[in-house]
Homo-oligomer: A and B are copies of this chain.
Amino acid sequence: MVGIGPGGAGDRTRRAEAAIAESQVVVGYDRYLGYVADLVAGKELVSSGMRAEVERCRAALDRAKAGEIVSLVSSGDAGVYGMAGLAIELAHAEGAGVAIEIIPGVTAATAAAARLGAPLMLDFAVISLSDLLIPWETIRARLEAVAAADLVVALYNPKSTKRVRQFEEAVEILRGYRPPETPVGIATAVGTQEERLSLTTLAKVLEEPVDMRTVVIVGSRLSRVIDGWFVTSRGYTI
């Protein structure tokens, strides 16, 4: 289970690259296989489209059961909205009896944060707005709790072409607790050639383009913009 980082080769770890190099088969969502194109020459690739997570994972386990070394790649960290948990669950359900190793990577939240400045310097939450697998009411309650506790929050999967209401509701919840000038950072396709970054405020965030590849980071009351960087202050005396 290999986390390949947000997309660029520079943000991959040595272990991730070594694992792919050792593998006979590399399994992943089409786009993620593209991110590691430089590493997979001569290997068998098994790709699939979005939302085919279970199928992809089963394919990887089947090949591993057959005695092959298999890398199942996730973008970012394999254990953050990635494939690591599903692989463990599925291997157990099927009695696959294969050895699993989980290789962490730079997750989208911290990769986005680094491009924008240092908004995650202290306590934060990571919340996905996708309600495919979790009821929206649960996600709403989490947003309320995190907003009230003044945690910086990184929103994953904020919007898809079919799902737009959730992001508007999330912003509305956060506006109930934080001032309109609260900095908000928007990072799309971080580390790839399509990377887009912007820095806005809670008042204006709905004017910005946001999609499934975007991470939206909403500051806390300790966040501000300094020399164009989005920073949450840890409170050192300087």
Chain A interface (Cβ < 8 Å from any Cβ of B): 3, 5, 9-15, 18, 53-54, 77-82, 84-86, 88-93, 100, 102-107, 110-111, 113-115, 117-128, 133-134, 138-139, 141-142, 144-146, 148-151, 226-227, 229, 231-238
Contacts and interface: CB of A to CB of B under 8 A. Distances in A.
Given A125-B123, A142-B123, A104 B93 contact: no
A133 B5 CA distance: 31
Contact of A231 (B11, B88, B144): B88
A114 B84 CA distance: 8
B12 A121 contact: no
Contact of A78 (B114, B124, B232): B114
Contacts of A111: 104
A85 to B, nearest CB: 4
Contacts of A105: 106, 110
Given A142-B151, A145-B146, A92 B123 contact: no
